[in-house]
Structure 1
């Protein structure tokens, strides 16, 4: 499979270089919101939407910055776009689903500081992806984020019913599950470049 093909870019971001389980980016919402499937899925969708908007805007911003030879403004420009996209998602969610907005709590505004989103914008810029490749990369990364957070939420829900030693409950269990999932995803490492 060609390294710059659309399918390779998608599956590389989705599995082989999963932002959460292989690159360890975006761990705050991954660990914080993955307690229940009913909050994990909307958080994954919100993060994917912000990734998509950020990716498209980062591509456009990078074109402008390169044209005017002011690439040093790249990072601050990306942060401003990410913060704006998160604000848009937050306002929409507060209006459309106040219960979900309250359930996600502080983790929704924390998408702004989610390093996976900033990493996505920077990675696509440094890989010099064109517009279509950038969009596919964002969709693959978002789908990978949803996959990781849903897997984690499913495991955590199932283990709530299990009898576990007290030392492995709470945060310890979350970290153990995250480590096991990460090890499982390392099996895909040979697929990516």
Structure 2
């Protein structure tokens, strides 16, 4: 349970797709002029990541890895299809994006028209592919954690685009120097927000390992215990020698 909570918060704040790795910046900058549009695209990204990351985890575990096809038969134990990772991951993402596009067009035509070309472009959004590739490179051990990672990464991207959309709506009524209007002030704001998110870098980054301070404290305590044991042994030895001399 603790592992799920740690992965959830790290994916949202510490390893945020936008502010830590700057993935998905095209959609982030283009669709963040209005909060309503940003919310729609952010929800679509959450859905796509929540579905594609665990699906691609299954593909990686049972099809792509070296020896992953051993479940078919012993003759396939040496097959390595990892070179197909990009193709199959993108195929899965494109399928899910097409499904999202159909649903949005059916039930929210105004949002569909607002998003325009950027809704189908989720299929080539590097944040979506990055979620699956990060899942693969970090060797996430279970499908539950993969689903958690997909959801939390999507929420992190959603918070980023929602925050910049809200700021850009306010900036519209502010006095911004002419050379910085538009993308200029947006890039500056994004950089400042990234610096703010860097403050979460100390959260849950130990990964179960002791920090240098903890290791030093443990070493000092161990040396102290050894010194006390040696002193006690010396004291007992001196007492025995004294008793024998008497």
Q: 1:83-162 counterparts in 2 under 5 A?
A: 83-129=94-140, 130-162=142-174
Residue 182 of structure 1, aligned match among 190, 194, 200: 194
CA distance, structure 2, for counterparts of residue 188 and residue 28 of structure 1 = 24
CA contact (8 A) 1:36 1:153 kept: yes
Unaligned runs of 5+ in 2: 70-79, 206-246
- Deviation of 1:154 after TM superposition, in Å, equals 0.6
CA contact (8 A) 1:17 1:192 kept: no
CA contact (8 A) 1:25 1:116 kept: yes
CA distance, structure 1, for counterparts of residue 176 and residue 199 of structure 2 = 28
Q: 1:6-155 counterparts in 2 under 5 A?
A: 6-65=4-63, 66=65, 67-68=68-69, 69-129=80-140, 130-155=142-167
CA distance, structure 2, for counterparts of residue 125 and residue 55 of structure 1 = 9
- Deviation of 1:192 after TM superposition, in Å, equals 4.9
Unaligned runs of 5+ in 1: none
CA contact (8 A) 1:35 1:157 kept: yes
CA distance, structure 2, for counterparts of residue 192 and residue 20 of structure 1 = 19
CA distance, structure 2, for counterparts of residue 192 and residue 117 of structure 1 = 24
CA contact (8 A) 1:18 1:145 kept: yes
Structure 1 segments, 4+ long, off by >3 Å, are: none
Larger radius of gyration: 2
Which structure's relative contact order is higher, taking Cα pairs within 8 Å and 6+ residues apart? Answer: 1
Q: Quote the RMSD (CA, aligned, Å).
A: 1.4
CA distance, structure 2, for counterparts of residue 131 and residue 57 of structure 1 = 9
The TM-score, its normalising length taken from structure 2, stands at: 0.75
The TM-score, its normalising length taken from structure 1, stands at: 0.94
CA distance, structure 2, for counterparts of residue 187 and residue 17 of structure 1 = 12
